[in-house]
Amino acid sequence: MDWWIQDTMSDFEVHNQLLNDCAVVGDAELCRVLLMNDARFPWLILVPRINGLRDFHEVSNEHRPALFEEIESASLVVKKLIDADKINVAALGNQVPQLHVHVIGRLKSDAAWPGPVWGVGVPAPYQDIERDQRINSVVETMGLSSESRAS
Protein backbone atom coordinates (compact mmCIF):
# COMPACT_ATOMS: atom_id res chain seq x y z
CA MET A 1 0.00 0.00 0.00
CA ASP A 2 1.47 3.37 -0.92
CA TRP A 3 1.88 6.23 1.56
CA TRP A 4 -0.86 8.26 -0.08
CA ILE A 5 -3.55 5.65 0.52
CA GLN A 6 -2.40 5.22 4.12
CA ASP A 7 -2.42 8.95 4.70
CA THR A 8 -5.84 9.48 3.17
CA MET A 9 -7.24 6.50 5.04
CA SER A 10 -6.13 7.65 8.46
CA ASP A 11 -9.34 9.57 9.10
CA PHE A 12 -11.57 7.38 6.97
CA GLU A 13 -14.99 6.49 8.35
CA VAL A 14 -17.81 4.45 6.89
CA HIS A 15 -21.13 6.35 6.65
CA ASN A 16 -23.44 5.68 9.61
CA GLN A 17 -26.28 4.40 7.45
CA LEU A 18 -24.03 1.66 6.06
CA LEU A 19 -22.84 0.75 9.55
CA ASN A 20 -26.47 0.48 10.67
CA ASP A 21 -27.35 -1.88 7.82
CA CYS A 22 -24.17 -3.98 7.72
CA ALA A 23 -21.48 -5.77 9.70
CA VAL A 24 -17.86 -4.79 9.08
CA VAL A 25 -16.00 -7.74 7.59
CA GLY A 26 -12.48 -6.32 7.17
CA ASP A 27 -10.17 -4.36 4.89
CA ALA A 28 -8.84 -5.22 1.47
CA GLU A 29 -6.06 -3.06 0.01
CA LEU A 30 -8.43 -0.30 -1.09
CA CYS A 31 -11.88 -1.01 0.34
CA ARG A 32 -13.50 -1.71 3.64
CA VAL A 33 -15.74 -4.73 3.10
CA LEU A 34 -19.18 -4.88 4.72
CA LEU A 35 -21.76 -7.66 4.91
CA MET A 36 -25.38 -6.52 4.49
CA ASN A 37 -27.45 -7.84 7.38
CA ASP A 38 -29.90 -9.67 5.16
CA ALA A 39 -29.58 -13.44 5.10
CA ARG A 40 -31.75 -13.69 1.98
CA PHE A 41 -28.79 -12.78 -0.23
CA PRO A 42 -24.98 -13.04 0.12
CA TRP A 43 -24.47 -9.28 -0.19
CA LEU A 44 -21.13 -7.52 0.23
CA ILE A 45 -20.51 -3.80 0.06
CA LEU A 46 -17.10 -2.38 -0.86
CA VAL A 47 -16.32 1.11 0.43
CA PRO A 48 -13.08 2.61 -0.96
CA ARG A 49 -11.21 3.97 2.06
CA ILE A 50 -10.79 7.42 0.53
CA ASN A 51 -12.80 10.34 1.74
CA GLY A 52 -14.88 12.49 -0.57
CA LEU A 53 -15.81 9.95 -3.28
CA ARG A 54 -19.43 9.83 -4.41
CA ASP A 55 -19.67 8.48 -7.94
CA PHE A 56 -17.97 5.39 -9.36
CA HIS A 57 -16.05 7.32 -12.02
CA GLU A 58 -14.46 9.55 -9.37
CA VAL A 59 -12.12 6.70 -8.40
CA SER A 60 -8.71 7.80 -9.70
CA ASN A 61 -6.74 5.87 -12.31
CA GLU A 62 -4.33 4.91 -9.58
CA HIS A 63 -7.01 3.10 -7.56
CA ARG A 64 -9.10 1.61 -10.36
CA PRO A 65 -7.14 -1.66 -10.71
CA ALA A 66 -7.52 -2.36 -6.97
CA LEU A 67 -11.23 -1.57 -7.02
CA PHE A 68 -11.76 -3.89 -9.99
CA GLU A 69 -9.72 -6.65 -8.30
CA GLU A 70 -11.71 -6.31 -5.10
CA ILE A 71 -15.00 -6.42 -7.01
CA GLU A 72 -13.71 -9.62 -8.63
CA SER A 73 -12.67 -11.10 -5.32
CA ALA A 74 -16.01 -10.21 -3.69
CA SER A 75 -17.88 -11.58 -6.71
CA LEU A 76 -16.10 -14.91 -6.48
CA VAL A 77 -16.87 -15.12 -2.76
CA VAL A 78 -20.61 -14.47 -3.08
CA LYS A 79 -20.71 -16.83 -6.05
CA LYS A 80 -19.07 -19.58 -4.04
CA LEU A 81 -21.20 -19.06 -0.92
CA ILE A 82 -24.44 -20.07 -2.62
CA ASP A 83 -23.33 -21.36 -6.03
CA ALA A 84 -24.89 -18.15 -7.39
CA ASP A 85 -26.49 -18.01 -10.82
CA LYS A 86 -25.56 -14.34 -11.32
CA ILE A 87 -23.61 -11.57 -9.65
CA ASN A 88 -25.09 -8.07 -9.43
CA VAL A 89 -22.56 -5.23 -9.14
CA ALA A 90 -23.81 -1.70 -8.56
CA ALA A 91 -22.80 1.73 -7.34
CA LEU A 92 -26.08 3.58 -6.77
CA GLY A 93 -25.71 5.81 -3.72
CA ASN A 94 -28.97 7.70 -3.96
CA GLN A 95 -29.52 7.34 -0.23
CA VAL A 96 -25.95 7.21 1.13
CA PRO A 97 -23.64 9.81 -0.43
CA GLN A 98 -20.40 7.87 0.27
CA LEU A 99 -19.26 5.78 -2.71
CA HIS A 100 -20.01 2.11 -2.06
CA VAL A 101 -20.23 -0.81 -4.46
CA HIS A 102 -22.79 -3.56 -3.93
CA VAL A 103 -21.73 -7.09 -4.89
CA ILE A 104 -24.65 -9.48 -4.55
CA GLY A 105 -24.94 -13.17 -5.32
CA ARG A 106 -28.25 -14.01 -6.93
CA LEU A 107 -30.19 -17.23 -7.38
CA LYS A 108 -33.03 -17.78 -9.81
CA SER A 109 -35.00 -18.94 -6.78
CA ASP A 110 -34.27 -15.92 -4.54
CA ALA A 111 -36.81 -13.47 -3.11
CA ALA A 112 -36.25 -10.75 -5.71
CA TRP A 113 -35.35 -12.63 -8.91
CA PRO A 114 -35.31 -11.51 -11.69
CA GLY A 115 -35.56 -7.96 -10.34
CA PRO A 116 -32.93 -6.05 -8.38
CA VAL A 117 -32.80 -6.63 -4.61
CA TRP A 118 -33.18 -3.06 -3.37
CA GLY A 119 -36.44 -2.31 -1.61
CA VAL A 120 -37.82 -5.82 -2.13
CA GLY A 121 -39.62 -7.37 0.84
CA VAL A 122 -38.24 -7.24 4.36
CA PRO A 123 -34.58 -7.92 5.23
CA ALA A 124 -34.02 -11.16 7.16
CA PRO A 125 -31.33 -10.34 9.78
CA TYR A 126 -28.67 -13.00 10.29
CA GLN A 127 -28.50 -15.14 13.41
CA ASP A 128 -25.19 -14.37 15.16
CA ILE A 129 -23.64 -17.74 14.38
CA GLU A 130 -24.67 -17.62 10.75
CA ARG A 131 -23.33 -14.07 10.38
CA ASP A 132 -20.01 -14.93 12.00
CA GLN A 133 -19.59 -17.98 9.80
CA ARG A 134 -20.23 -15.90 6.72
CA ILE A 135 -17.85 -13.15 7.88
CA ASN A 136 -15.10 -15.69 8.58
CA SER A 137 -15.61 -17.23 5.20
CA VAL A 138 -15.31 -13.84 3.46
CA VAL A 139 -12.25 -12.79 5.51
CA GLU A 140 -10.50 -16.03 4.66
CA THR A 141 -11.39 -16.18 0.98
CA MET A 142 -10.70 -12.49 0.28
CA GLY A 143 -7.61 -12.44 2.51
CA LEU A 144 -8.84 -9.41 4.47
CA SER A 145 -7.26 -7.65 7.38
CA SER A 146 -9.83 -7.76 10.18
CA GLU A 147 -8.43 -4.95 12.36
CA SER A 148 -11.24 -2.63 11.30
CA ARG A 149 -13.90 -5.04 12.54
CA ALA A 150 -14.04 -3.64 16.06
CA SER A 151 -14.24 -0.04 14.84
Which residues of the chain form contacts with a second copy (CB under 8 A)?
Answer: 54-57, 59, 61, 64-65, 68, 71-72, 75-76, 86-95, 106, 113-116, 118-119
Q: Are 103 and 71 in contact (CB under 8 A)?
A: yes
Half-sphere exposure of 138 (CA within 13 A, CB side): 33
Among residues 123 and 149, whose Cβ is nearest to a second copy? 123
Q: Are 131 and 23 in contact (CB under 8 A)?
A: yes
12 DSSP 8-state letter: -
Among residues 10 and 95, whose Cβ is nearest to a second copy? 95
Residue 129 CB, nearest distance to a second copy (Å)?
Answer: 29
User: What 3-state DSSP class applies to 99?
Assistant: coil
Residue 87 CB, nearest distance to a second copy (Å)?
Answer: 5
Residue 147 CB, nearest distance to a second copy (Å)?
Answer: 26
